[in-house]
Structure 1
Amino acid sequence: MWPRRNLQDLLGIEHPIIQAPMSGITTPELVSAVCNAGALGSLGCGLLPSELVREQVAAIRTATDRPFNLNFFAHPRPSVDNKAAAEARQRVQRYYDELGLGTAPEATEPFPIFDSSRLGLVLELRPRVVSFHFGLPGADALNALKRAGCLILSSATTVAEARWLEAAGVDAIIAQGAEAGGHRGTFTDDAGAGTVGTMVLVPRVVDAVRVPVIAAGGIFDGRGIEAAFKLGASGVQIGTAFLGCPESNVPPPYREALRAATDLSTHVTRMYTGRPARVLRNRFSSEMAAGDALVLDFPLQASLTMPLGRSADGDIRPDFLPMWAGQGASAGNNLPAGEFVRRLVNEAQEKHS
C-alpha cells in the first residue's frame, strides 16, 4: 500500500500521517479521532500547565488505546533585558490604550520550560511518542525518556539541524519547510534556517540522515503525501488542514478567517511570541511588521501580546489574535478528523495504485 513502512513500524500506527501538535488548538477529541483512524494524533503541551496535560491525556486514553504523541517546547530560558522590555511594552501600549486594557504588563514567561518537573510529568504519563520543537532537552532527559520506552521526534529546518538531531539520538526527524504554519522549529543561529521550502528541504534531509524523515509544510491532501514519498520521506505531518475539523479548538472568528484565506493570506512574524511563526495576516501582524526584529526573547514577547487577542471573559479580537496557519490555508477542510484522515489515505493510495 505505502512505498515505505518504516515510520508505521516504528510508531505502531497504520498510516504514515501525523497530526501536528498545535498547542492550544489540539484537543483530546481531535487527537483520539486521528489515532482511531490509524494515524498519529498529537497533543500540543507547550502552553498547557501540567495538571491540564494529565487531564487531557486521561481523556485521550479513555477514547483510544492507540499510540499518541505529546509535544513540548525545548526552548532555553529567556534572558530579560530591562531596556528592551520597556521598549517592547511601549510599542504595544497604543493597542492597550485603544482596547481600554490599561498599562501593558511587565514581560514574564507565559510558557513552561521543559525542566525536571515537565520531564517527571512525561515519565509519569509514558506516551508512546514525545516530540519537541526548538531543538531538544538535555541528554539526561532524553536518556530518561528512552529508558521509559518513549520514541523521540523533533523538527529540523536545515540539513545541519537534522544531522544534529540524529547525532543526539532522535528516532525520526520532522523536516519542516518554510510553508508550515505556526512556529518554525528552528533552533540554530543559521541565517537561512526556516527559509527553505519543503520540496528542497525534504530530499536533502533524507540524503543526510539514516532515521525516518517526516515531511511537514504545505501538505494538505493526497497529492502532497504522494510528493513527500517521492522525495524520500517516510511520512508526513499535517497541521493547518486539521484546523477546520470540528474537534479542533479554533474559535469562530479564526475559522471564518481560514475560510476566507487565499494563497497570499499568510506571512511570517516574530511579533506575537519572539520566534518566527507563520500566521494569517491581520491588523496587528501587518501594522507591527516594521518592528519585527525589535522583539523580546521567546516566549517573553507573548506575555505582552496575548492579552490583546482575547478579552478577560474570553471574547476573541481577530484583529489581534495570532491565527497560526500555513500556506495551504486556502485549501480548506471542515471534515471530522477521522473522516479527514480516511480521505487523505484514500487520496494518497489512489496515487500509489
Structure 2
Amino acid sequence: MTIADLFSIALPLIQAPMAGVQGSALALAVCRAGGLGSLPCAMLSPAQLEQELHALRAGTDRPFNLNFFCHRPPNPDPAQEAAWREALAPYYAEFAIDPAGIPSGPGRAPFSADIADLIEAFRPPVLSFHFGLPDADLLARVKSWGAKVLSSATTVEEALWLEARGVDAIIAQGLEAGGHRGMFLGDDLSTQTGTFALLPRIVQATRLPVIAAGGIADRQGVKAALALGAAGVQVGSAYLLCPEATTSPVHRAALKSPAAGHTALTNLFTGRPARGIVNRFMRERGPINPFTPAFPLATSAIAPLRSAAEKAGRTDFTHLWCGQNTLGCKELGAEELTRELMALD
C-alpha cells in the first residue's frame, strides 16, 4: 500500500511540516497538486491554530496533515538559565541588548487535551507527531475521530515502538533531514543514520507503510526511495524558496548561497539537535553545546539576538533549518514543484 491509498490522495508525497517558515498557504498548494499538505502547529497559539484550521477547511476538501510535538516539558533550571545567559552576555553587549528585559519561556507546546478540544470539531484527516506520541488516552481520542496517525522514527527501535502503539504509518527520518531530529528513545546522535540506510531496515522490520524523509529534494531522490520500499516520501527543504513559504529574506538568501552546502546538527537554538546551515553562533559556540538549556527552554534567550542581527541583514543567530540536499530548492510555486517532484515516468 502506498500512502496515496492510505490517505486518499493522488500522489504519495507529504510536504514536511516546517514550523516558523510556513502556514496554511503552503499546505493548501501541495493539497491542490495532489500531495498531503502539512501544517506545523507546535509554535501556534490557540487563536492562530484555529485561524489556520478555518483556512484549511475553507481552502480544500482534500486531506491535510496537522503536525504536533510530543516532548515532555522540562522543569526550569534557574541556575542553568543564568549560566546560559551569562554565556550569551558578550553577544548581548555587542547588540546593545539588556538581558534583564528578556522573558523566559518555552515557545513550543506539546500536544495536549486542550489542543485536542480545539481541533476535534475540524476532524483533521491526518495527524503527525514528532518526538514520539501523545499519551495513550490522547492518542485513542485522536484515532476515534477517524484520523490517520503518523510519527517520525530515527532508528529501527523507535519504529517498532511506534508500530506497537498503533500508528498507521512511520516516517523514517534520515540524518540528512533539516530541522529537529525526531529521536525520542535516546539522545545518542551516533545512533542516527542516513535515509537510504535507515529506510530499508525499517521496511524490513515493520509491517506498516514507511515514508522516507531526509535529503529527498528532486524526482531522482523520490524514485530511489520508492525503489527501496518506501510507501511514499516526505519533502521539506525543497519547498523553502516557494512563494507560499514564509521563509525570511535572510534565510532565503542563505539557501541560495554556497553556505547552504554546509549544514550541521545543533542544539544551540532550542535545546534539541536540529539540522541547519552553519552560521557564526554555531561556529563560535560549537554546534552541540552541553550548557544549552533543555528543549525548548533555550529559545527565548536567543530570540532578541536573532531579531537584532536580522535587522542588520545578518544570519548570526538565526536557525537556518534545512537538510543536507538543497539542490531541489527552487523559487517555484509549491503546486508546480510538487508535480515536478512526482513526475516519475
- TM-score of the aligned structures, taking structure 2 as reference length: 0.95
2:160 to 158, 163, 170: 163
1:145 is aligned to 2:142? yes
User: Which residue does 1:55 correspond to in 2?
Assistant: 51
1:20 is aligned to 2:19? no
Please give the per-residue CA displacement for 1:57-77, whole angstroms capped at 9, x wherever unaligned: 211222211100000110001
Please tell me the residue identity of whatever aligns with 1:54.
E
Please tell me the residue identity of whatever aligns with 1:49.
S
Note the 1:328-339 alignment, pairs <5 A.
328-339=325-336
Note the 1:118-129 alignment, pairs <5 A.
118-129=115-126
User: Which residue does 1:322 correspond to in 2?
Assistant: 319
1:293 to 290, 293, 302: 290
1:72 to 55, 68, 71: 68
Structure 1 unaligned regions, length at least 5: none
Match of 2:172, SS state, is: strand
Deviation of residue 152 (structure 1)? 0.5
Please tell me the residue identity of whatever aligns with 1:60.
L
State how far apart, in whole Å, the 1-side matches of 2:251 and 2:3 are.
Answer: 33
1:183 is aligned to 2:180? yes
Please list every run of at least 4 consecutive aligned residues from structure 1 whose deviation after the TM superposition is greater than 4 angstroms: 311-317
Please tell me the residue identity of whatever aligns with 2:245.
S
Distance 1:74 1:255, change over 3 A: same
Deviation of residue 6 (structure 1)? 2.9
State how far apart, in whole Å, the 2-side matches of 1:341 and 1:212 are.
Answer: 21
User: Which residue does 1:173 correspond to in 2?
Assistant: 170
Please give the per-residue CA displacement for 1:148-200, whole angstroms capped at 9, x wherever unaligned: 11111000000000000011111100000000000000111152466210011
Q: Is the Cα contact below 8 Å between 2:259 and 2:277 reproduced in 1?
A: no
Q: Is the Cα contact below 8 Å between 1:22 and 1:44 reproduced in 2?
A: yes
User: Which residue does 1:195 correspond to in 2?
Assistant: 192
Distance 1:13 1:158, change over 3 A: same
Match of 1:131, SS state, is: strand
State how far apart, in whole Å, the 1-side matches of 2:334 and 2:2 are.
Answer: 24
User: Which residue does 1:132 correspond to in 2?
Assistant: 129
State how far apart, in whole Å, the 1-side matches of 2:195 and 2:309 are.
Answer: 39
Match of 1:329, SS state, is: coil
Larger CA deviation: 313-322 vs 72-81: 313-322
Identity across aligned pairs (percent)? 46
Please tell me the residue identity of whatever aligns with 1:243.
L
Please give the per-residue CA displacement for 1:197-230, whole angstroms capped at 9, x wherever unaligned: 0011000000111110000000001111111111
Q: Is the Cα contact below 8 Å between 1:262 and 1:330 reproduced in 2?
A: no
Match of 1:310, SS state, is: helix
Deviation of residue 295 (structure 1)? 1.0
Q: CA RMSD in A?
A: 1.9
User: Which residue does 2:25 correspond to in 1?
Assistant: 29
User: Which residue does 2:85 correspond to in 1?
Assistant: 89
User: Which residue does 1:226 correspond to in 2?
Assistant: 223
State how far apart, in whole Å, the 2-side matches of 1:291 and 1:233 are.
Answer: 31
User: Which residue does 1:258 correspond to in 2?
Assistant: 255
State how far apart, in whole Å, the 2-side matches of 1:275 and 1:6 are.
Answer: 32
Please tell me the residue identity of whatever aligns with 1:39.
G
2:95 to 92, 95, 99: 99
Distance 1:61 1:193, change over 3 A: farther
How many residues are matched? 344
Distance 1:134 1:303, change over 3 A: same
Q: Is the Cα contact below 8 Å between 2:267 and 2:288 reproduced in 1?
A: no
User: Which residue does 1:204 correspond to in 2?
Assistant: 201
Please give the per-residue CA displacement for 1:21-40, whole angstroms capped at 9, x wherever unaligned: 00121221111010010000
Deviation of residue 80 (structure 1)? 1.8
Q: Is the Cα contact below 8 Å between 1:47 and 1:112 reproduced in 2?
A: yes
State how far apart, in whole Å, the 1-side matches of 2:191 and 2:41 are.
Answer: 22
Please tell me the residue identity of whatever aligns with 1:35.
C
Larger CA deviation: 100-109 vs 129-138: 100-109
Please give the per-residue CA displacement for 1:2-44, whole angstroms capped at 9, x wherever unaligned: xxx4311111111000000001212211110100100000000
